[in-house]
């Protein structure tokens, strides 16, 4: 961690750079204190206030303005290059993952319990980010992001960032069924809590999915939990009203 933010420790290529913001290091007040990066479609008032200042602080660490996504818990992937990056910065595309082969283009996903996932090939020729909540993960957002890299899965390194932990993510039968009906092996990532309720290991499910896709090189700290660590992380499930953190990644 540096300056209150997290630099991924992973086995990806050195020319792929990334940073994950925490809730610290900004100027927001109230439930969204202090490093709230706001919605994808930030208003003029947002940009003139604390959110704008927080984004300027993030921008100071990046080679260009990030491409934000209008996230909908789906599986669509935005393919970003020098020809469409400016348009996407002005009008964030509806997607929950993004991929680029263009150096200097910064991709970003926003989270507050869902998992930020970073993927890249070992040569550093392509990088992708994904917003993996339970709905998007079940819908195949990691499958889509890995496929969009267009490289063999064994040549991909991945990093799973902070999300809600397995001791805090209580779910119902609908969530468990969404995974276990498609893949019985997912049952190992659900712990029975009481009648009709389970604790789900979201990071474990993401790791399971990446492994099934053929990605073996997966990093991340299993002790992270956005719900229980209120000093470092925003959590929608904990607070309802909260800010948004972001994973930003690019090729140097």
Q: Per-domain residue ranges for the chain?
A: 16-237
Mean pLDDT by 10 residues, the chain (252 residues): 81 98 97 97 96 98 98 98 98 98 98 98 98 98 98 98 98 98 98 97 98 98 97 97 98 98
H/E element holding 27? none
d(CA 182, CA 104): 38
Helix, strand, coil tally for the chain in percent (to 5): 30, 25, 45
Give pLDDT, residue 217.
Answer: 98
- Give the helix ranges, DSSP H, for the chain: 44-48, 50-59, 85-90, 134-139, 141-149, 173-180, 202-213, 236-239
Range 16-237 classified under CATH 3.40.50.720: no
Give pLDDT, residue 3.
Answer: 54
d(CA 132, CA 218): 15
d(CA 106, CA 62): 7
């Amino acid at each position: 961690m540096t300056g209150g933010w997290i630099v991924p420790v992973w086995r990806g290529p050195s020319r792929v750079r990334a940073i994950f913001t925490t809730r610290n290091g900004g100027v927001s007040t109230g439930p969204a204190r202090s490093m709230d990066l706001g919605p994808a479609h930030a208003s003029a008032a947002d940009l003139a206030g604390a959110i704008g200042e927080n984004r300027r602080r993030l921008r100071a660490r990046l080679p260009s303005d990030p491409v934000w996504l209008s996230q909908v818990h789906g599986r669509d992937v935005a393919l970003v290059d020098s020809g469409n990056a400016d348009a996407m910065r002005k009008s964030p595309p509806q997607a929950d993952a993004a991929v680029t082969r263009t150096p200097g283009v910064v991709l970003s996903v926003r989270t507050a319990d869902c998992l930020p996932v970073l993927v890249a090939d070992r040569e550093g020729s392509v990088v992708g980010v994904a917003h993996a909540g339970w709905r998007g993960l079940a819908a195949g957002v990691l499958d889509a992001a890995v496929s969009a890299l267009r490289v063999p899965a064994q040549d991909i390194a991945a990093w799973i960032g902070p999300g809600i932990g397995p001791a805090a993510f209580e779910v119902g039968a609908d969530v468990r069924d969404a995974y276990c009906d498609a893949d019985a092996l997912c049952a190992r990532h659900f712990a029975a809590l009481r009648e009709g309720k389970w604790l789900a290991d979201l990071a474990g499910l993401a790791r399971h999915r990446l492994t099934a896709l053929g990605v073996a090189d997966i990093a991340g700290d299993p002790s992270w939990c956005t719900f229980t660590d209120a000093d470092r992380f925003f959590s929608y499930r904990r607070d309802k009203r909260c800010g948004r953190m972001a994973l930003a990644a690019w090729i140097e």
